[in-house]
Amino acid sequence: MNQFPAKACAENMDPTDTKTHSVALSGWCLHPRSFPCQATKGWHKFAMIWAWLLALQATGAQPADPASFQSQQKRLQSYLAHRPNEGQAKNIILFIGDGMGISTLTASRILEGQQQGDSGEENSLSWESFPYSALVKVYNTNQQTPDSAGTMSAIMTGHKTKAYTFGYDQQVVRGDHNSLQAFNGPAAACETLLEQFEKAGKSTGLVTTARVTHATPAACYAHSPERNWEHDGDLKDDNPKAYQAGFKDIARQLIEFPHGNGIEVVLGGGRQAFLPNTAPDPEDPTIKGHRLDNHNLINTWLGSTGASFVFDRAGLLQVNPDRTQRLLGLFERSHMTYEVDRRKEVHPSDPSLSEMSLTALDIVRRNQEGFFLMIEGGRIDHAHHAGNAHRALVETIALSDAVRAVHSALSPTEQKETLILVTADHSHTFTIAGYPTRGNPILGLVVGNDDQGKPEKAPKKDAMGLPYTTLAYANGGGYTGPIQNRKTREIREGGQHFHLDIGDGGGPLSSHEDWKYLRTPRAPRPDLSEVDVACEDYVQEAGVALSSETHAGEDVAVFAIGPMAHLVRGVIEQNFLYHVMQFASRGSGLPQ
């Protein structure tokens, strides 16, 4: 086991990491980063954790307990003294954790607490101190388990609609432009809250760690029967008739936004949709854009008064909000770098979600009429699709940091005039299970308690005598059972699949189209005793074999603070959130 003096440990920390990733014991630190991250030889990590548990018990150290009887008495008194803010919302900030289900909230809360040296369960994410919350029903009009386009469209327009579409009512047919009223169909366009704010002379902004043309941000400003029509190449490939009919792709709709004076701030990924296939990428000139129409949409943006464009963190940090009227920041060709990987860079090329959020806030808050700002932690969803809990939880913690940073940056007057909502568009098949002891590493193997309620000395075993993790998925790429070749009938045992390429919505399994999964009893699970299950690349086991883990259909949470936040309560339909935001902004130039 590697040990560092506490001071030396601090000196070895990543300077861009704002969290403490170590536990100090009598002047010594057991540092997780002192161990290699690999799929084998992981027993040393369990030994480290066990040493921490023994030391905690031996020293009699007791962490502060916000769940104590006295703490709950204080909470009761604060609730009794609380009075709702019934004023008008001059500003609205909507935070979306894409795919951030309740199990993700719980696991992220615990991981953040454990990164700070506590047991974790008593920790709280930034928005969990907001005074109001509710459960949100997330189904689409045609799907029990939803997608991000239909759910975000419900939040932004007040109308539930079909999966994979946004900005139209439920008469829309996915991928069919002829179903729209503009092409003589029945589906009506639905005005978004962002469009209303622009028409009222307010400022608007979008921040995301995904592509800015991806479903969640796009549903704020665009209208499309197909979420994947991000640029004209996508449109032509998917529906040549819509392309020939002149339907505008999502990137064009963003740049040619017709309402008010246009969106003031757009920060995220997705440069490829804005550059023609003849134009070099600013970070890698050997790679070209994806557009077929030879339109450089970045240059179109720069043609407006006071507009700026940045493509890396250094450029963003040089932006002067007082001298910038409109800012477009596209930091990657596709989605932005995961926070886990961004922190590894000595000089990160991508900004953090907090840095983007604070820059956007400083620009839109200059408008005395008010603003609407949507901030998305978009890659929570992508990591879950890949079956990679580590990255999903770190992305959630980064969103919590952004919420804390933005709320803290608001003046007392702004806090009284700003409605803040934090919610998710949907959840994932992500589970927290077993009977781990208090403080057991959330990313680790399950270590239970003995008959006296004290931590055991070894991980729990399943019915086959094998250890298992606390976190898992109901389906996805982490399936480890047998597969059979469709042609040769050869059977391949599972159990070797520990890592997965982290891409857009997951990655391929070790099998290909010639292989199928057997409808036979599972082969024995892999022995995880020597596997570093806390490694950032580890893929949790999954029950059903799919190349990409799916969304889940249960309710998600919403947290609220500010004017009319008390309307957020009970169990609500997802499109009710639009009506709360719209009503809270009454009298501020928005339609009643």
Q: What percent of the chain has pLDDT over 70?
A: 81
Confidence class for position 64, pLDDT limits 50, 70, 90: low
- CA quadruple 463, 468, 470, 473: dihedral sign: negative
Residue 33, pLDDT above cutoff 50: no
What's the token pair of residue 186? 């029945």
pTM: 0.86
Q: Where are the alpha helices (DSSP H) in 116-178?
A: 148-157
What is residue 454's predicted lDDT score, i.e. its pLDDT? 97
What is residue 104's predicted lDDT score, i.e. its pLDDT? 98
Confidence class for position 493, pLDDT limits 50, 70, 90: low
CA distance 576 to 492: 49
What's phi and psi for 174, nearest 5 deg? -55, 130
What is residue 589's predicted lDDT score, i.e. its pLDDT? 65
Domains of the chain: 4-59 (no CATH), 203-372 (3.40.720.10)
Instruction: List, for residues 167-222, the tens digit of each pLDDT value.
Output: 999 999 999 999 999 999 999 999 999 999 999 999 999 999 999 999 999 999 99
- Rounded average pLDDT over 148-153: 98
Q: Which residues are catalytic?
A: 148
Confidence class for position 483, pLDDT limits 50, 70, 90: low
What is residue 524's predicted lDDT score, i.e. its pLDDT? 66
CA distance 474 to 506: 15
| CB distance 328 to 270 below 8 Å | no
- Rounded average pLDDT over 304-315: 96
What is residue 114's predicted lDDT score, i.e. its pLDDT? 98
Confidence class for position 31, pLDDT limits 50, 70, 90: very low
CA distance 85 to 431: 36
Confidence class for position 481, pLDDT limits 50, 70, 90: confident
Q: What percent of the chain has pLDDT over 90?
A: 76
